[in-house]
Amino acid sequence: MKFLLTLLGVLLFTACQKEQITVNDHASDTFYVDNANAAMRVLVQGNTASRVFVLFVHGGPGGSAYGYSTDYVQQHLETKYACVYWDQRNAGAAQGNANVANLNLPQMTEDLKKVIQVLKARYGQDARVFLLGHSFGGLLTASFLTTGTYQALVNGWIVVDGDHNYPLNDSLTRNMLLMMGQQQLLLRNHPAEWQPIVDYCQAHPGNFTFEESTQLNTYAHEAETYFEEVKKVDVLAILRQGAIRYDVPVTTLFLNSRFSNNAAFNRELAKTEFTSVLAKVTTPTLLLYGKYDFICPSGMGEDIFNHVGTPHKRLAVSPISGHNPYIQDESFFCNEINQFVEQYK
């Protein structure tokens, strides 16, 4: 009986203990943000003492944030600022049930708001947050910044090969595949690969169905691999490395990715655009794209640049990158972000 009372006392004491929050130049904090039946894993890594947080909003839907913490990013960003790697609901190492009813863009926008609120509650209300949206993360961050007064929570918007307008993206992808494909055929570069892409684009000029959009995206992923100047990206190897480094369950990564990739809400996303409301965005904006990105062509960055309401904006295009400049042009990626954050932190 005495043992049970002692054990109960220990449990009560530990339950009341405040969670450890690391404030130094080499932090590595992992915690979960609970919202609407999802437990979303967050890794805060790097210089939390800087009070500057670069919040990575990953692609997908169904991707993971851990792959962005490369050795180069650790050396050139995390030493200066805290990088926040957030796994969205039904993505990465996030937990919870399937939550089909809550897997939608408005709910994910609210999730992002809560993640920022938790960061400020943990590390101080004076924390300066920079949103970094990659690929689908561009759409999610665009949704966040154009909702109510949410943009007041952040100091800057960084779009890395992001998508904010799916119908426009499909048109730009099709046009780029067709133009570049025809050029490559004339040069006799990978003709067996380019010919079916060109034929498909010529047969599908616009008003794309969801199935056509999916096929264009598949061709876009393939296309950048046909250029020698673009560094090849082994996504599976990156996920495996991240899973080992950050103790992420591989099964969870796989199941979340499979579920989100096949979720019905992808059909709704295919019709979503934020170009018409970007004038609301007064937050300083940095747009980074790759010359060889067929998935989210640099024309997407031009559209954001032409429509945001802020005069504090910059568009930069890597001459050697495809869809993943944080791996394919690391110095470009980190230098641009460092200069932007230093200017607006």
SS3 321: coil
List, as one string, the DSSP characters of 173-229. Answer: HHHHHHHHHHHHHHTTSSHHHHHHHHHHHHH--SS--HHHHHHHHHHHHHHGGG-TT
Q: Give the span between the Cα atoms of 88 and 62, in whole angstroms.
A: 8
Strands (E), 205-343: 285-290, 313-318
pTM, entire model: 0.92
Q: What are phi and psi of 69, to 5 degrees?
A: -85, 70
**What are the residues whose beta carbons fall under 8 Å from the beta carbon of 127, sequence distance 6 or more?**
51, 52, 53, 119, 120
At residue 19, the pLDDT reads: 64
**What's 93's DSSP letter?**
T
Residue type, 83: C
Helix H or strand E segment including 158: strand 156-162
At residue 250, the pLDDT reads: 74
pLDDT along the chain (345 residues), means of 10: 38 44 94 94 97 97 91 97 96 81 94 98 97 98 98 98 98 98 98 98 97 97 96 76 73 81 89 98 98 98 98 98 97 98 98
Contact (Cβ atoms closer than 8 angstroms) between residue 61 and residue 260: yes
Q: Give the span between the Cα atoms of 139 and 133, in whole angstroms.
A: 8
At residue 254, the pLDDT reads: 78
Q: How many CA atoms lie within 13 A of 215 on its CB side?
A: 14
Task: Give the Å distances, CA to CA, from 161 to 151, 224, 321.
Answer: 20, 13, 10
At residue 96, the pLDDT reads: 79
Walk me through the domains of the chain, giving residue ranges and CATH numbers: 24-165+233-344 (3.40.50.1820), 170-226 (no CATH)
**What are the residues whose beta carbons fall under 8 Å from the beta carbon of 253, sequence distance 6 or more?**
64, 92, 93, 239, 243
At residue 83, the pLDDT reads: 98
Residue type, 188: R
Helix H or strand E segment including 27: strand 27-35
